Amino acid sequence: MIKTIEVDKLTKKFGSFTAVDNISFSVSSGEILGLLGANGAGKTTTIKMLCGLLAPTSGKIKVAGYNAYLQAEQIRTRIGYMSQKFSLYNDLTVWENIHFFGGVYGLWGKQLKLRAEALIDDFEMRPFMNLTVQSLPPGWRQRIALAVSLVHNPPIILLDEPTSGVDPIARRMFWETIHQISANGTTALVTTHYIDEAEYCNNVLVMVDGKLVAAGQPNELKSLYNSTTMDDVFLSLARNENTKI
């Protein structure tokens, strides 16, 4: 398996506060990895470093073969980002959103046209490609946001709480699509504090107070911590470490 993300002894300090504390992990191509943690556990800081938006205090990060902070430009064109909350322009049509974001990522002319057409077909968006995003139901908006995050064919996508608040069928359609995409080799990194989203990942990492406290498949972690749900696994980890709450 090719490693698309390699993180080695990564640390980030803000003054005397250690936001990310000596974490190491790697992600293979086609893997769906969940990054879990309570507010303040260090998830966002980790993601920012992976995207090259923040310099590590120490440690190494390689994303798609590039050094995350020194080669940030190369990395940004290889990452797609999708959040359920704010990734589309609501007053633009589906077609306009795809073309706008394609342009932002440097696609143009025939190349952009072909890519946009392929996405419209793959995601079955043709019937409403000329409607504004705000006129569509939430489940579809989320699907379009995913399509848009893939416009530049990135090898890695970051999903930030992608299905919180959607109905159970729309959620499953979304995760089936993610599994299809990952079967084609795209790596997905999911950050969430909704543990039910974690159940759909191949592997999960749990962060508490900047440290990596658990890593493995959801089923492995459940049996390791003698729990029936990931929620219980997470709570037992978070509460043990976090006795100050």
- The residues that touch other proteins, with contacts defined as CB under 8 A, are 37-39, 137-139, 164-170, 172, 175-176, 179, 183, 193-196, 199-200, 217-219, 229-231, 234-235, 238-239, 242, 245
| Residues whose CB falls within 8 Å of the CB of residue 141, separated by 6 or more in sequence, listed in order | 88, 133
Length of the chain: 245
Closest contact distance (angstroms) between CB of 58 and other proteins is 27
Closest contact distance (angstroms) between CB of 48 and other proteins is 18
**Nearer Cβ to other proteins, position 17 or 110?**
17
Q: 73: exposed, middle or buried (C-beta count within 10 Å: 0-12, 13-18, 19+)? A: exposed
Beta bridge partners of 23: 10
> CB–CB of 9/3 below 8 Å?
no
Closest contact distance (angstroms) between CB of 27 and other proteins is 17
DSSP per-residue letters across 167-196: -HHHHHHHHHHHHHHHHTT-EEEEEES-HH
**Nearer Cβ to other proteins, position 109 or 168?**
168
Closest contact distance (angstroms) between CB of 165 and other proteins is 4
Q: 42: exposed, middle or buried (C-beta count within 10 Å: 0-12, 13-18, 19+)? A: buried
**Nearer Cβ to other proteins, position 56 or 218?**
218
**Nearer Cβ to other proteins, position 37 or 80?**
37
**Nearer Cβ to other proteins, position 87 or 116?**
87
Q: Supply 134's token pair.
A: 């705000």
Closest contact distance (angstroms) between CB of 146 and other proteins is 16
**Nearer Cβ to other proteins, position 117 or 167?**
167
Q: Which amino acid is at 153?
A: N
Closest contact distance (angstroms) between CB of 23 and other proteins is 19
> CB–CB of 45/229 below 8 Å?
no
